[in-house]
């Protein structure tokens, strides 16, 4: 048992170090630098705008599968839960979207709020069919929103193709979204990434269009 405790402590330390490294990298690449007006004008014309998008949700919600669809336009049939961090970059016209997914296991959720102040948007993914853990998903979401009520939120009700999945209206009630005193844009969308499908579902394309539209409005 002592040996197992040492292993657990080592893993916890490794996750903490990795979290710190990712946090420093996130701040470095997304942080603003001071330039003269001439330099700033030149940079605006010569470089695409970069936007940071944070992707969160409990483990097993389907965050990685959705990101893979958004980035590659393909369906990945087998995706392991993210154990740490997953970064994905998508280039759009005049804008570079940097997605940072953080794993949803218990030991990683404490890091979530560290990344909010550098994000331009929050995507929160919920497993609509996992009704047992929906209260926990809602609790973690409300905890995040207490940190930043101004961050645009795209809430994805994922796995809508599974039996027992709650509808959009049912999920709205279950997550107590009516209790939110939210001061920024909030969108709730249904998604699914089918296990046997080869085509990316239309709802994933709709999500991507929404993200691009919302992020283009952020200055």
Domain count, the chain: 1
**85-92 and 95-102 beta bridge pairing:** antiparallel
Residue 79 assigned ligand-binding role: no
Residue 131 assigned ligand-binding role: no
Residue 64 assigned ligand-binding role: yes
Q: Residue 211: which CATH number?
A: 3.40.50.300
Q: Which residues pair with 89 in a beta bridge?
A: 98
**Both tokens assigned to 156:** 């994805």
Residue 148 assigned ligand-binding role: no
Residue 60 assigned ligand-binding role: yes
Domain coverage including residue 78:
2-216
Calpha distance 132→134 (Å, rounded): 6
Entry pTM = 0.77
Calpha distance 193→69 (Å, rounded): 8
**Can you list the residues of the chain whose pLDDT is less than 50?**
1-17, 20-21, 23-24, 27-45
User: CA–CA distance from 91 to each of 67, 190, 212, 218 (Å)?
Assistant: 13, 24, 10, 16
List pLDDT tens digits, range 121-179. Answer: 999 999 999 999 999 999 999 999 888 778 899 999 999 999 999 999 999 999 988 87
The secondary structure element, H or E, covering residue 101 is strand 95-102
Residue 82 assigned ligand-binding role: yes
């Amino acid at each position: 048992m002592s040996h197992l405790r040492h292993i657990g402590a080592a893993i916890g330390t490794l996750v903490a170090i990795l979290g710190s490294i990712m946090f420093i990298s996130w701040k470095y690449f997304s942080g603003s630098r001071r330039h003269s007006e001439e330099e700033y004008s030149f940079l605006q014309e010569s470089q695409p705008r970069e936007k940071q998008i944070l992707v969160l949700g409990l483990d097993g919600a389907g965050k990685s599968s959705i990101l893979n669809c958004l980035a590659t336009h393909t369906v990945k049939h087998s995706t392991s839960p993210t154990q740490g961090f997953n970064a994905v970059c998508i280039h759009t016209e005049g804008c570079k979207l940097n997605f940072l997914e953080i794993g949803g296991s218990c030991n990683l959720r404490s890091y979530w709020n560290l990344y909010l102040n550098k994000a331009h948007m929050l995507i929160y993914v919920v497993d609509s069919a996992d009704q047992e853990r929906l209260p926990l998903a809602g609790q973690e979401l409300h905890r995040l929103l207490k940190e930043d009520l101004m961050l645009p939120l795209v809430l994805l009700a994922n796995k809508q193709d599974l039996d027992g999945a709650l509808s959009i209206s049912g999920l709205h009630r279950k997550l107590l979204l009516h209790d939110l005193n939210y001061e920024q844009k909030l969108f709730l969308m249904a998604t699914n990434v089918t296990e046997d499908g080869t085509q990316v579902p239309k709802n994933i394309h709709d999500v991507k269009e929404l993200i691009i539209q919302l992020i283009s409005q952020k200055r």
